[in-house]
Amino acid sequence: MKDVAKYAGVSIATVSKYLNGGNVLDKNKELIDEAVVKLDYQVNVMARGLKTNETMTVGIIIPSLTNLFFTTIVSKVENLLLQKGYSTIICDYREDEKLEKEKLNFLLSKNVDGIIMVPSCSEDNELINKVNKDLPVVLIDRNIEGVNCDVVLTDNINGSYDAVEQLIHRGHRRIGIICGPEEHYTAVERLTGYDRVHEDYNIARDKDLIRFGDYQIESGHQEIINLMKLAEPPTAIFVTNYEMTLGSIMGINELDIKMPDELSLIGYDNLQLAKIIKPSLSIVTQPMDEIGETAARLMLKRLKKDMSKHPAVYRLKSRIIIKDSVRKLNEG
Amino acid sequence: MKDVAKYAGVSIATVSKYLNGGNVLDKNKELIDEAVVKLDYQVNVMARGLKTNETMTVGIIIPSLTNLFFTTIVSKVENLLLQKGYSTIICDYREDEKLEKEKLNFLLSKNVDGIIMVPSCSEDNELINKVNKDLPVVLIDRNIEGVNCDVVLTDNINGSYDAVEQLIHRGHRRIGIICGPEEHYTAVERLTGYDRVHEDYNIARDKDLIRFGDYQIESGHQEIINLMKLAEPPTAIFVTNYEMTLGSIMGINELDIKMPDELSLIGYDNLQLAKIIKPSLSIVTQPMDEIGETAARLMLKRLKKDMSKHPAVYRLKSRIIIKDSVRKLNEG
DNA sequence: TTGTATGCGTTATCAA
DNA sequence: TTGATAACGCATACAA
């Protein structure tokens, strides 16, 4: 900037003011513009940060960088924040709660301006609340009891409810579900939807039909085999995330089960996959781009010190798409 | 730090020196340690950076955040660099070359200390070389003609050669291959391996058996169908990345082709997938963790101004795993 | 070994 | 509108 000032024949203060949107004589504007181009001037983010106490950096913490659901959201967030000049430091904690805390501390030590995170299910609210006092925190996908920061969720309960209801409408009564880990936030919600629709339609639940996986491919594969090997297997199965959906399709192929004749299936999350599978797969899709967009906008708003409606809770709608993998059961 | 100095009753310079590994009287060490804990002191990365001219930040640029191969590598890199105190700013350019340049400039404007990137195949060497003059650049997965920076690659040619050779050893002569985009660095290499082994074994190539996809699920699905609908379909097919392998398995299911009786298949990249598919899938796996580790170590070395053996080229070995999806063809 | 003093590149204040 | 100047928090050269 010193060089620019010298080249343009004005003071440093004038350059700084102009570059930050201040008013300057037209003559000087031109001079400075020219100098900036000529000298290829770039602001020193460190020096600016030292003064403004802002790093223009947002930390993102997710459970895994190899989970398509999270990385799709992160990709959206990253691109939106970058458009506003913000860097994102993306950390994954590999589903390890100890690592989660480490990454959080790391981001804090790097003086990020805000944090967007998908917390582990046992993350404690005190820590989050404490962090949230110093800088904006936006939670994604999972809420934490007693936490008072912004959060962007999907309506897992209704999504699950609607999916199972579609099966019921088509005459299914023995409906299996492959859930995520028993204490997991979204897993609990999705199971709740399944429970409620059974209650509402007065259908007794069979414990054997409710399986808990770990949201990984292999458990989807294993649990669908367990379900289909029951003495009285389900006529339809609802699988509650992408990885397990993938696994269950492998299982169906392995057992040579005809879909939808011998089994109706509704999967989760990946539209692309749904189109490729034959018969075309019915799924519940979460609006990943919208989730990312909402989280990014919310964060940008907070970064501008706009704390209106804090804490904000967004419940985005998931969408259910019924395709050929579901058939109507003949009564009797 | 001023506060720490005051609390400990020493000068700022003493605190700074101690905190940076300098020698200080034991008595003062204790005092400073106590003050640091008491005041929960954290260095101001901006102020430090302003002095040292280092941001302790490495930029990572990849084509896509939704590609498992890249995100696995990135996850490894991120974790290793963090252990040394480095942040990573991860950018994806969504396979868009224009966006790629934007992201590169963005990272430069953020004064990152180094850049690790998977370049688009048409990235120009001049730009990279220019950047590489100012800060260390490590290329991953794809090399660029005429570029003089460090690069970490997989031996695609040999990996492909070995895979196809295994098929030949088992009596296959009509071997299909589903490649990536025609100009793509790794796609060209993997096709070269296919070509060479055909030459070495004196097997004529049939153009119809060589298909070009785009490394996405759908093209794997489409091309395997094209291959199997040939008047004289191949007895074995080699699919050259993960997404297309996924797609081709969908296609096999759709066409109800019995594997390996009617078709032998070798896929790519995902060990987990290979274990789940029935019959168990033969694959070529790239050492993703090793790639990430090598790139991270190389970057750390360059960041320490150790420029020995520059530019370094690493060619990591891929591994071929033959499982039940490949069968021995009866001669005659 | 310790402390004083300087400067890193900005932004912001205030006088001109 | 402009410019001189202080301050941000730290690292370091140099003097003590």
Per-residue pLDDT reduced to its tens digit, A69-93: 999 999 999 999 999 999 999 999 9
pLDDT one-digit tens code per residue, B70-89:
999 999 999 999 999 999 99
Owner of token pair 């501390």: A105
Strands B319-321 and B282-285: antiparallel
Among all strands, which nt has the closest C1' to B51 (CA)? C8
Can you spell out the DSSP letters for A149-206?
SEEEEE-HHHHHHHHHHHHHHTT--SEEEEES-TT-HHHHHHHHHHHHHHHHTT----
pLDDT one-digit tens code per residue, B87-99:
999 999 998 999 9
Mean pLDDT in chain B? Answer: 94
Q: Residue B119: which pLDDT band, with cuts at 50, 70 and 90? A: very high
Mean pLDDT of A303-326: 95
Q: Is the pTM higher than 0.85?
A: yes
Among all strands, which nt has the closest C1' to A48 (CA)? C10
The tokens describing B63, both together, are 């084509």
- What's the one-letter identity of residue B70? F
DSSP reduced 3-state for B152: strand
Cα separation, A260 vs A249, whole angstroms:
12
Residue B276 has pLDDT above 90, yes or no: no
pLDDT one-digit tens code per residue, A160-181:
999 999 999 999 999 999 999 9
Mean pLDDT of B298-307: 95
Residue B331 has pLDDT above 80, yes or no: no
Among all strands, which nt has the closest C1' to B44 (CA)? D9
Mean pLDDT of A99-123: 93
The pLDDT value recorded for residue A331 is 60
Asked whether the CA dihedral A244, A246, A249, A255 is positive or negative, the reply is negative
Select from B97, B276, B292 the least CA-distant residue to A65. B292
The tokens describing A188, both together, are 């609990």
A51 touches strand C (CB under 7 A): yes
Q: Which residues neighbour strand D (beta carbon < 7 Å)? A: A 10-14, 17, 22-25, 27-28, 47, 50-51; B 1-2, 12-13, 16-17, 19-20, 41, 43-44, 47-48, 50-52
Owner of token pair 């150790």: B306
The pLDDT value recorded for residue A332 is 47
CA distances from A166 to A34, A66, A208 (A): 65, 31, 21
Asked if residue B154 lies in contact with residue B139, where contact means CB atoms within 8 angstroms, the answer is: no
What percentage of chain B carries pLDDT values higher than 90?
A: 89
CB–CB contact B44 A111 (8 Å):
yes
Helices (H), B2-44: 2-8, 12-19, 26-39
pLDDT one-digit tens code per residue, A227-266:
999 999 999 999 999 999 989 998 998 898 999 999 999 9
Q: Which of chain B's residues have a Cβ under 8 Å away from the Cβ of A82? A: 91, 103, 106
Strands B210-212 and B175-179: parallel
How crowded is the C-beta side of A320, counted as CA atoms within 13 Å? 21
The tokens describing B51, both together, are 């002095």
The pLDDT value recorded for residue B274 is 83
Mean pLDDT in chain A? Answer: 94
Mean pLDDT of B127-148: 94
Calculate how close chain A gets to B211, using CA atoms only, in Å: 19
The pLDDT value recorded for residue B121 is 84
Mean pLDDT of A284-307: 96
Calculate how close chain A gets to B12, using CA atoms only, in Å: 18
DSSP code at position B210:
E
Owner of token pair 């860097």: A87
Going from the N-terminus, what domains does chain B have, and what CATH number goes with each?
2-42 (no CATH), 55-154+288-317 (3.40.50.2300), 156-286 (3.40.50.2300)
CA distances from B160 to A85, B164, B189, B270, B310 (A): 42, 6, 8, 15, 28
CA gyration radius, chain B: 26
Cα separation, A91 vs B74, whole angstroms:
10
